[in-house]
Amino acid sequence: MQNFISVKDVDDINILADKALAYKQNPLLHKSLGANKRIGLLFLNPSLRTRISTQIAAENLGMQVVTLNVDRDGWKLEFEEEAIMSGTSVEHVKDAAPILGNYFDILAVRSFPGLVNKAEDYSEHIIKQFMKYAGIPIVSLETSTLHPLQSLTDVITIKESIANSNYLNLKKPKVVLTWAPHIKPLPQCVANSFAQWINAWDEVEFVIAHPEEYELNEEFTNGATITHNQQEALKDADFVYVKNWSTYIDYGKIYNNDPSWMLTPKSLEITNNAKLMHCLPVRRNVELSDEVLDSGNSLVTVQAGNRIWAAQAVLAEILAEIK
Ligand code: CP
C-alpha cells in the first residue's frame, strides 16, 4: 500500500480486516516492523479517537510518533497555488510538506471540509497537496469527504460481531446507515466513507435512510438501497449505523432537523435486535437517546477500541512497502 486515502487503496478488504483482527489478538505481533521509522500525525482539526488510536497503533509497530496540532500550535497553512499570501496564512503547503517529508517516513493528516465550497471540498485539495509535495506515504485521518480509518474499523466491528454470532453466520446480515438530527452542519465524510466501504465489501444487505433533503453523493452510495422512510429501512436490520450529515446537494446546510429521526428503543423494535454503531463523538439525546447508547446492543465502545487495530493494519501495510 502506497497511501491510505480511500477504499481504493485497499486490494482486499477482508484480508486487511483479518490483519486488523489479528492485531487485536496480539498487538505486538510485529513490534519491530516500524523500528527506526517515524510517523507524523498532523491535525488541522480536533480529534480524540483518531489521534490516540493511531499513536498506539504506530507504537505497537515500534514506530516513533510526533503529533502536531496545526490548528493550535502550527503556522496557518496556505493551500492555494500561486496565492498572494497577504492574508492570515503564514506558510505554503509546498514549503511545509517537503520538510515534513524529510522529518518523517509516513505522514498522516486530518483536515475537515469548510462546508462552504462543495467543489473545493470534494476536490480533496488539501490531502492532495500533501501527497504532491511531501514525497512520502500519506494516511488520511479524515479528509473533506472521507474517513477511511473509521470505515475500516466499522467493517472489522461488523465482521467480528458476525463471527461471534451463531445466527448472523447463517444469513446475509442487513446493515442500515441512518441519518440522525444534529444542532450544527456536519461533514458528509463518515457517511460517504461508510457507504463506499460497505458497497465495496459487498458482504451484507445495505440500506441508507435519510430525510429527502440529505441525499449523499452517488459516487459513494451507488449499490445501496436508499429510502426516506426510517422504519421501512430498520425492518429486520441486524446493524444500525447512526450518523448526522449536512446537505450535499445545496451544500453544507441543515434543512430538516426532525427529532423523530433520533433512534429510541421504540423505533428499534422493528429491527432484528440490531447492534448500534456510531463513530463518536455523539450528542446524547440529540443524535441518539441515552437508552440506545447505554443499551447492551450498543457497539460504540468496542467500535472506538477497534480504531487501534484498523490503524495498525494500515500502517503495517505501508511499512511493508517502504522497508
Ligand atoms: N470517530 C473519530 O474520528 O473520532 P475523533 O474525531 O475523536 O478522532
Domain annotation covers residue 13: yes
Q: Are residues 157 and 294 in the same domain?
A: yes
Domain annotation covers residue 190: yes
Q: Are residues 154 and 288 in the same domain?
A: yes
Residue with the nearest Cα to atom 7 of ligand 1? Answer: 48
Q: Are residues 136 and 191 in the same domain?
A: no
Q: Are residues 86 and 195 in the same domain?
A: no
Q: Are residues 206 and 80 in the same domain?
A: no
- The minimum-distance atom of ligand 1 relative to the CA of 149 is 3
Domain annotation covers residue 39: yes
pLDDT at 267: 96
Domain annotation covers residue 1: no
pLDDT at 87: 95
Q: Are residues 118 and 183 in the same domain?
A: no
For residue 186, what are the domain limits? 150-304
CATH number at residue 188: 3.40.50.1370
Distance CA 57, CA 296 (A): 27
49 lines ligand 1 (CB under 6 A): yes
Residue with the nearest Cα to atom 3 of ligand 1? Answer: 50
For the chain, counts of helices (H) and of strands (E): 13, 11
Q: Are residues 172 and 289 in the same domain?
A: yes
Q: Is 238 left (phi over 0), alpha (psi -120 to 50) or beta?
A: alpha
Does residue 308 contact residue 57 with C-beta atoms inside 8 Å? Answer: yes
Domain annotation covers residue 2: no
Q: Are residues 299 and 312 in the same domain?
A: no
What is the count of structural domains for the chain? 2
Query: Cα–Cα distances in Å, from 71 out to 47, 84, 85, 148?
Result: 11, 21, 18, 22
Instruction: Give the three cell numbers for residue 97.
Output: 510538506
150 lines ligand 1 (CB under 6 A): yes
- The minimum-distance atom of ligand 1 relative to the CA of 279 is 1
Q: Are residues 120 and 165 in the same domain?
A: no
Å from CA of 260 to ligand 1 middle: 25
Distance CA 318, CA 140 (A): 13
Output helix, strand, coil percentages for the chain, rounded to the nearest 5. Answer: 40, 15, 45
Query: Cα–Cα distances in Å, from 191 out to 14, 188, 316?
Result: 20, 6, 26
Q: Are residues 222 and 165 in the same domain?
A: yes
pLDDT at 323: 61
* Closest of 31, 40, 303, 296 to residue 147, by C-alpha: 303
pLDDT at 169: 72
pTM over 0.85: yes
Residue 276 phi/psi, 5° resolution?
-105, 135
Domain annotation covers residue 166: yes
Q: Are residues 97 and 193 in the same domain?
A: no
Domain annotation covers residue 267: yes
**Beta-carbon contacts of residue 304 (< 8 Å; ≥ 6 apart):** 49, 53, 280
Q: Are residues 102 and 16 in the same domain?
A: yes
- Write 279-286 long-range contacts (CB < 8 A, 24+): 279/147, 279/150, 279/154, 279/190, 279/243, 279/303, 280/48, 280/49, 280/304, 281/48, 282/242, 283/182, 283/183, 286/180, 286/181, 286/182, 286/183, 286/262
47 lines ligand 1 (CB under 6 A): yes
Domain annotation covers residue 17: yes
User: Mean pLDDT in runs of 10 for the chain (323 residues)?
Assistant: 98 98 98 98 97 98 96 91 95 97 98 97 97 98 98 98 84 95 97 98 96 97 97 97 98 94 97 97 97 97 98 98 82
